[in-house]
């Protein structure tokens, strides 16, 4: 079979400071596992390059990983504000956020989902405590064939086997206080060999525990083996980015998704859409949050804009009104200017006609406030000359005898 | 204490508001009220001019038809020809004995209509002691 046709599952997860990578060829009879590769956390880029190389070699792939976050719990309601995966008819795994650290991943599982997948056929109407040991954490859930009733995550780091067993027992007692039921038996899935823990648990709980041991890679290869299996229990399938907001610190991770068929349609990362919708206002709120970690309300953000809005509003109002009044001032100044000019023109015209009086008769005149140009018939030359000279000193006064014994005059004021 | 608790962005916006207020709003406000006062003064002066010519009402926008109608009540011949850019050439026939009437008309023309007379009057004598006065009006 050529690479193009092979369905390959790539699995990776981080335990302590190491990334573990594996891939397997999926066949009708199960999967054929290749060698496990290990990368130190400082070699993350190398890990990503290796995954990219596998992607280029096998186009038909799924990249599966496991969420080892301790803040997971199983609920019977879907939480739209958190990363959610449906793992049972009425059960969902919910966790605060998903942090893939930019490592390509298409299928992301919860240990609870892996536990359920492992033991779902064994469940009946009797209460069973399912325990998964993943990365030094115990993922526990009380389940029947009807539902998952309760879940806990217990960290074992720094604790002795005895202390861990006591905590498991305390969890059982806590559940008894809620439901008045003890687990009838315990199923345990361990990903690391831990015979001492098993021994102590058996002693502490006085119950027969049948462990199943498998490594995380194999469990993930199994989960991603068929689209039907994957679609029943994934935290997410398709996402471009997700955001983690923690005390104002924003981290953005990116992952690619290559889903197959309709296998993952019912899986949602409910928080994604809400984060994207709220992103602009969240950014705004962060800007206004300053160094305080307290809640910044919409009212506080809007209130900060009030002074600048008020000032800009007032400025715009006065600017607009000023433009209008300025136009009115210019208009009224033009009218006053025109009126003053008219009065000056009338005054000059009146003076000229008064100066001519009965000494002359006008034939043609051009009058302005700057100069005058007159032509007419004159009868009293000296009185006219004197009158015009009194008005326009230094003007050019010319007389010209006409053939009909009359005398024509012309006068031009000195410019 | 409250100010210390306020976020940096709120403080920046507040400072920006004060700067805009001082640099833009207050000068605009002062200029506006100064212009209002100037307008009121000029309006009073214009009204006083109008009253001295016996005119009570405000100047109206120039309308050729109305101007002709009103001017023909004063003078025998009135011609108005539109020129370019809102200008009109006006020719009025005035009896030499009634020059005072023409002068009074000319003195009040910018108070009755929103117009300006070009600084150039042309008089030409016609028969029977009639003067033809030509001038140009420009609408304001």
Summarised one tens digit per residue, pLDDT across range B97-128 is: 889 999 999 999 999 999 999 999 999 998 77
Residue with the bigger pLDDT between A344 and A15: it is A344
Query: Could you tell me if residue A345 is inside a domain?
Result: no
Query: Could you tell me if residue A310 is inside a domain?
Result: no
- Over residues A153-211, the pLDDT tens digits come to 888 888 888 888 888 888 888 888 777 777 777 888 888 777 777 778 777 777 777 78
Q: Do B25 and A314 make contact, defined as CB atoms within 8 angstroms?
A: yes
Query: Could you tell me if residue B59 is inside a domain?
Result: no
Q: Residues A391, A397, A402, CA angle at the centre, nearest 5°? A: 135
The rounded distance, in Å, linking the Cα atoms of A58 and A31 is 15
The rounded distance, in Å, linking the Cα atoms of A304 and B11 is 8
The rounded distance, in Å, linking the Cα atoms of A307 and A309 is 5
Q: Categorize the per-residue pLDDT at B91 as very low, low, confident or very high, splitting at 50, 70 and 90.
A: very high
SS3 A191: coil
Query: Could you tell me if residue B72 is inside a domain?
Result: yes
According to the model, what pLDDT value does residue A144 have? Answer: 87
Closest-CA distance, A58 to chain B, in angstroms, reads 51
The rounded distance, in Å, linking the Cα atoms of A349 and A351 is 5
Query: Could you tell me if residue A24 is inside a domain?
Result: yes
The rounded distance, in Å, linking the Cα atoms of A9 and A47 is 16
- The alpha carbon of A229 is separated from its chain's Cα centroid by a whole number of angstroms, namely 33
According to the model, what pLDDT value does residue A263 have? Answer: 31
According to the model, what pLDDT value does residue A116 have? Answer: 87
Tell me the average pLDDT across B37-43: 95
Q: Categorize the per-residue pLDDT at A84 as very low, low, confident or very high, splitting at 50, 70 and 90.
A: confident
Q: Which residues of B touch A318 (CB under 8 A)?
A: 25, 28-29, 32
In this structure, are B85 and B119 located in the same domain? yes
According to the model, what pLDDT value does residue A77 have? Answer: 79
Nearest Cα neighbor of A168 from A202, A124, A134 is A202
Query: Could you tell me if residue A337 is inside a domain?
Result: no
Q: How many CA atoms lie within 13 A of B127 on its CB side?
A: 0
| Residue A353 Rama label (left phi>0; alpha psi -120 to 50; beta) | alpha
Q: Which residues of B touch A323 (CB under 8 A)?
A: none
Which residue out of A301, A335, A343 would a mutagenesis test of the B interface target, given it has the greatest number of B Cβ atoms within 10 Å? A335
Name residues 326-385 of chain A within 8 A of B (Cβ).
326, 328-329, 331-339, 341-343, 345-346, 349-350, 353, 361-370, 376
In this structure, are A182 and A71 located in the same domain? yes
What residue numbers bound the domain in which B78 lies?
A: 64-139
According to the model, what pLDDT value does residue A287 have? Answer: 62
Biggest CA-to-CA distance, chain B:
95
In this structure, are B42 and B77 located in the same domain? no
Which residue out of B3, B15, B17 would a mutagenesis test of the A interface target, given it has the greatest number of A Cβ atoms within 10 Å? B17
Q: Categorize the per-residue pLDDT at A136 as very low, low, confident or very high, splitting at 50, 70 and 90.
A: confident
According to the model, what pLDDT value does residue A254 have? Answer: 33
Residue B2 has pLDDT above 90, yes or no: no
What residue numbers bound the domain in which A247 lies?
A: 7-276
Query: Could you tell me if residue B58 is inside a domain?
Result: no
Name residues 307-326 of chain A within 8 A of B (Cβ).
307-308, 310-312, 314-315, 318-319, 321-322, 325-326
Query: Is A12 in contact with A19 (CB distance < 8 Å)?
Result: yes
The rounded distance, in Å, linking the Cα atoms of B9 and A305 is 10
The rounded distance, in Å, linking the Cα atoms of A100 and A256 is 11
Residue A4 has pLDDT above 70, yes or no: no
According to the model, what pLDDT value does residue B22 have? Answer: 96
The rounded distance, in Å, linking the Cα atoms of A217 and A33 is 9
Mean pLDDT of chain B: 91
In this structure, are B34 and B9 located in the same domain? yes
Looking at the structure of chain A, the number of domains it has is 2
According to the model, what pLDDT value does residue A90 have? Answer: 77
Query: Is A89 in contact with A63 (CB distance < 8 Å)?
Result: no
In this structure, are A151 and A35 located in the same domain? yes
Total residues found in chain A within this entry: 415
From A232, A248, A276, give the residue that closes a domain: A276
Q: Categorize the per-residue pLDDT at B47 as very low, low, confident or very high, splitting at 50, 70 and 90.
A: very high
In this structure, are A235 and A125 located in the same domain? yes
Task: Give all strands (DSSP E) within A199-286, no chain letters.
Answer: 209-213, 241-246, 249-254
Query: Could you tell me if residue A375 is inside a domain?
Result: yes
Residue A32 has pLDDT above 50, yes or no: yes
According to the model, what pLDDT value does residue A289 have? Answer: 57
In this structure, are B81 and B127 located in the same domain? yes
The rounded distance, in Å, linking the Cα atoms of A72 and A116 is 14
Tell me the average pLDDT across B20-43: 95
Q: Which residues of B touch A311 (CB under 8 A)?
A: 17, 20-21, 25
H-only helix segments in A85-186: 111-119, 161-179
Q: Is B139 exposed, middle or buried (0-12, 13-18, 19+ CB in 10 A)?
A: middle
From A241, A276, A311, give the residue that closes a domain: A276
According to the model, what pLDDT value does residue A97 have? Answer: 73
Q: Categorize the per-residue pLDDT at A295 as very low, low, confident or very high, splitting at 50, 70 and 90.
A: low
Residue with the bigger pLDDT between B23 and A128: it is B23
Q: Do A307 and B117 make contact, defined as CB atoms within 8 angstroms?
A: no
Q: Do B99 and A368 make contact, defined as CB atoms within 8 angstroms?
A: no
The rounded distance, in Å, linking the Cα atoms of B126 and B132 is 7
A336, A342, A361 ranked by CB distance to B107: nearest:
A342
Q: Do B9 and A318 make contact, defined as CB atoms within 8 angstroms?
A: no
- Over residues A310-346, the pLDDT tens digits come to 999 999 999 999 999 999 999 999 999 999 999 999 9
Q: Do B140 and A331 make contact, defined as CB atoms within 8 angstroms?
A: yes
Q: Which residues of A touch B46 (CB under 8 A)?
A: 332, 335-336, 339
Domain at A40, CATH number: 3.30.420.260
Closest-CA distance, B135 to chain A, in angstroms, reads 10
Q: Do B28 and A332 make contact, defined as CB atoms within 8 angstroms?
A: no
The rounded distance, in Å, linking the Cα atoms of A272 and A85 is 13
Kindly tell me the sign of the dihedral angle through the C-alpha atoms of A286, A287, A290, A294: negative
Q: How many CA atoms lie within 13 A of A379 on its CB side?
A: 7
In this structure, are A239 and A359 located in the same domain? no
Residue A290 has pLDDT above 60, yes or no: no
Q: Which residues of A touch B140 (CB under 8 A)?
A: 331, 334-335, 338
Domain at A400, CATH number: 3.30.1360
In this structure, are B80 and B135 located in the same domain? yes
In this structure, are B26 and B77 located in the same domain? no
Residue with the bigger pLDDT between B51 and B8: it is B51
Residue B58 has pLDDT above 50, yes or no: yes
Q: What is the pTM of this model?
A: 0.48
Question: Out of A40-54, A182-196, A363-377, B66-80, which region has the weakest mean confidence (pLDDT)?
Answer: A182-196
Query: Could you tell me if residue A303 is inside a domain?
Result: no
Q: Do B20 and A335 make contact, defined as CB atoms within 8 angstroms?
A: no
Looking at the structure of chain B, the number of domains it has is 2
According to the model, what pLDDT value does residue A324 have? Answer: 96
Mean pLDDT of chain A: 79
Residue A297 has pLDDT above 70, yes or no: no
From A261, A276, A291, give the residue that closes a domain: A276
According to the model, what pLDDT value does residue B93 have? Answer: 94
Query: Could you tell me if residue A312 is inside a domain?
Result: no
What ipTM does this complex have?
A: 0.89
Domain at B96, CATH number: 3.90.1520.10
Strands A185-190 and A128-134: parallel
Residue with the bigger pLDDT between B67 and A278: it is B67
Structure tokens at B88: 């009109």
């Amino acid at each position: 079979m050529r690479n193009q046709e092979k369905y390959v599952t790539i699995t990776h997860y981080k335990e302590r400071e190491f990334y573990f990578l594996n891939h397997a060829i999926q066949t009708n009879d199960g999967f054929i596992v290749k060698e496990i590769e290990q990368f130190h956390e400082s070699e993350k880029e190398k890990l990503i390059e290796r995954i990219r190389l596998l992607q280029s070699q096998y186009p038909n792939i799924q990249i599966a990983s496991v969420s080892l976050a301790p803040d997971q719990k199983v609920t019977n309601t879907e939480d739209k504000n958190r990363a959610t995966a449906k793992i049972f008819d009425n059960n969902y795994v919910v966790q605060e956020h998903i942090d893939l650290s930019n490592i390509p991943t298409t299928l992301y599982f919860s240990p609870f989902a892996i536990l359920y997948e492992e033991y779902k056929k064994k469940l009946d109407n009797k209460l069973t405590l399912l325990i998964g040991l993943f990365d030094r954490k115990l993922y526990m859930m009380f389940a029947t064939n009807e539902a998952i009733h309760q879940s806990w995550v217990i960290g074992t780091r720094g604790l002795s086997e005895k202390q861990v067993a006591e905590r498991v027992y305390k969890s059982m007692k806590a559940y008894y206080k809620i439901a008045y039921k003890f687990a009838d038996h315990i199923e345990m899935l361990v990903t690391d060999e831990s015979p001492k823990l098993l021994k102590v648990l058996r002693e502490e709980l006085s119950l027969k525990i049948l462990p199943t041991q498998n490594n995380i890679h194999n469990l993930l290869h199994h989960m991603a083996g068929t689209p039907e299996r994957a679609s029943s229990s994934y935290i997410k399938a398709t996402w471009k980015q997700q955001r983690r907001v923690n005390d104002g610190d924003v981290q953005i991770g990116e992952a690619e998704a290559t889903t197959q068929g309709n296998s993952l349609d019912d899986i949602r990362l409910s928080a994604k859409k809400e984060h994207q919708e709220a992103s602009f206002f969240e950014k705004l709120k962060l800007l206004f949050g300053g160094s305080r970690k307290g809640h910044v309300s919409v009212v506080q953000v809007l209130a900060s804009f009030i002074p600048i809005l008020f000032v800009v509003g007032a400025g715009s109002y006065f600017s607009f009104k000023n433009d209008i009044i300025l136009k009115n001032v210019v208009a009224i100044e033009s009218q006053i200017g025109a009126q003053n000019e008219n009065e000056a023109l009338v005054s000059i015209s009146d003076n000229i006609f008064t100066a001519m009086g009965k000494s002359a008769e006008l034939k043609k005149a051009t009058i302005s406030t700057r100069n005058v140009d007159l032509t007419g018939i004159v009868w009293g030359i000296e009185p006219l000359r004197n009158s015009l000279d009194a008005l326009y000193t230094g003007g050019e006064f010319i007389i010209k005898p006409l053939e009909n014994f009359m005398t024509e005059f012309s006068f031009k004021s000195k410019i | 204490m409250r100010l210390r608790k306020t976020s940096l962005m709120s403080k920046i916006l507040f400072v920006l508001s004060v700067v805009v207020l001082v640099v833009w709003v207050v000068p605009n406000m002062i200029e506006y009220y100064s212009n209002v006062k100037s307008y009121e003064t000029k309006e009073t002066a214009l009204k006083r001019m109008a009253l001295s010519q016996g005119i009570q009402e405000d100047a109206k926008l120039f309308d050729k038809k109305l101007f002709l109608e009103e001017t023909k009540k004063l003078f025998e011949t009135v011609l108005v020809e539109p020129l370019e850019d809102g200008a009109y050439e006006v020719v009025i026939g005035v009896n030499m004995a009634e020059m005072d009437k023409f002068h009074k008309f000319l003195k009040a023309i910018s108070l009755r209509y929103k117009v300006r007379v070009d600084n150039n009057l042309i008089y030409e004598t016609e028969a029977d002691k009639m003067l033809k006065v030509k001038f140009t009006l420009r609408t304001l």
